[in-house]
Structures are given as C-alpha cells and as structure tokens.
Amino acid sequence: MTQDLHLPSPPPEGIRARKQRQTRQRIAEAGLRLFLANGFDATTLDAIAEAADISRRTFFHYFESKEAILVALESEAEAAFKVALADMPADVAPLDAVRDALMVMISQYESDEAIAIDRLMRSTDALLARKQANYERQEQALFNALAEKWPSPARHPRLRMVALVGIGAMRLAAEQWNKEDGCQPLKSYLVEMFSQLQAEITL
C-alpha cells in the first residue's frame, strides 16, 4: 500500500502580515509615482509619507530611505529571474537557460512605466552610479544561481563567464530599448543581443 504524500501548505497570511505587506506596497507605489512625476531628488520623504497616507515615522518602519524603494523594485525583478532560472531544465545549456529566464522576467517589465523607471535610474549621477554598481552584484548573484543549478566545480569558470556575458547582453538590450523609446518589445532587443553573442562564439 502506497502512502499519498503531500507537501505541507504554507501557513495562511495573517491579518497583521497582510496589512504590513499592503502598507509597504502602498508606500513603494506612492514613492515611485512621485519619483516619475517630480524627479528623484525633488521628491521628499514627507511627500511620500503624505501620498501613502502614513506618518514620516511609519515610513521608516518599512524603508530606511527613499533609495530603498528603488532597491525593493530591483529585488522583485531579481527574485522573478531567479525563480525562472530554477525552473529551466537541467539539460539546457546554461547560456540558453539564462536567456530564456531573462525572457520570462522581462515579460513583466515592458510597459511605458518600465521605460520611465529605467530613465529615472539614469537621471542623477548617484542613481546612475548605483545602477552601474548593481551590474557587478547581479553578475555574482547570477553566477551563484548557476552554480547552484550546475554544482560541478569543474564548470564554475565557464558558468562565471556565462554570468558575465548574460548580464552584459541584458544591459546592452536595456540601453538600446531605452534609447529607441521602446519602439520594439524589450524581448526583441534581448533576442538580438543573444543572437549576436552566439554568432561571435561560433565564428
């Protein structure tokens, strides 16, 4: 007789946790809306708190600074990518898995608002420097995810290269997408960048 095994269901979200999540989301949405309307530097914490209908003190229960709102947005995208990569079959070539996982992720970030957010991240020297610094962190995070999926140490140098060129292709695709005002879907630019990369590899 076989036993029917089921994984335990995650515990239901409590009222307190749900309210906290909703408040955090409301603050992030209010901050982003003001950033896009008025610019990052011109947006104050007081303005964000007022727009989110909270006190300035409450703001700091959820975010340590207005920059942290942008960090939260970046973290959401990275989490979506990590899930997509983990779902890729193990017999797929790592570079193809990275490309396909990026496709899954960016399908959620192709709106006019996404272009505006990308431009926001380039709008001040401080934000641009942050954006540039993030690429190195993203490369390391991608390598860690690849090494977890393909744990053989012998593959790690190649996986490191895959992480470098994968993030590089995404970076170039996003820059071209922004430059051309999103006249084509971001996926199209990413496909083109990976096609050029594959062409160079096979020369």
- Give the tokens for residue 57: 């003190």
**By C-alpha distance, which of 137, 136, 146 is closest to 99?**
146
- Alpha-carbon span 148 to 177, nearest angstrom: 31
For the purposes of burial, counting CB atoms within 10 Å of the CB of 141, is it exposed (0-12), middle (13-18) or buried (19 or more)?
middle
Which regions in the chain score pLDDT beneath 70?
Answer: 1-11, 13, 108-111, 203
pLDDT, residue 2, reads: 41
Counts for the chain of helices (H) and strands (E), in that order: 9, 0
pLDDT, residue 40, reads: 92
Q: Residues of CATH 1.10.10.60 domain(s) within the chain?
A: 15-62
Q: Residues of CATH 1.10.357.10 domain(s) within the chain?
A: 70-201
pLDDT, residue 56, reads: 95
Locate tokens 């140098």: which residue? 157
Q: What is the pTM of this model?
A: 0.75
- Give the tokens for residue 21: 């999540």
**By C-alpha distance, which of 29, 108, 36 is closest to 62?**
29
- Alpha-carbon span 87 to 176, nearest angstrom: 28
Kindly give, in sequence order, each residue whose CB lies less than 8 Å from that of residue 142, ignoring residues fewer than 6 positions away: 85, 98, 162, 163, 166, 167
Eight-state DSSP code of residue 167: H
pLDDT, residue 115, reads: 77
Angle at 113 between CA 183 and CA 21, to 5 degrees: 150
Give domain 70-201's CATH superfamily.
Tetracycline Repressor, domain 2 (1.10.357.10)
- Scored b (16 or more CB within 10 A) or e, 26-50 reads ebbebbbebbeeeebeebeeeebbe
Classify 15-62 by CATH class. Answer: mainly alpha
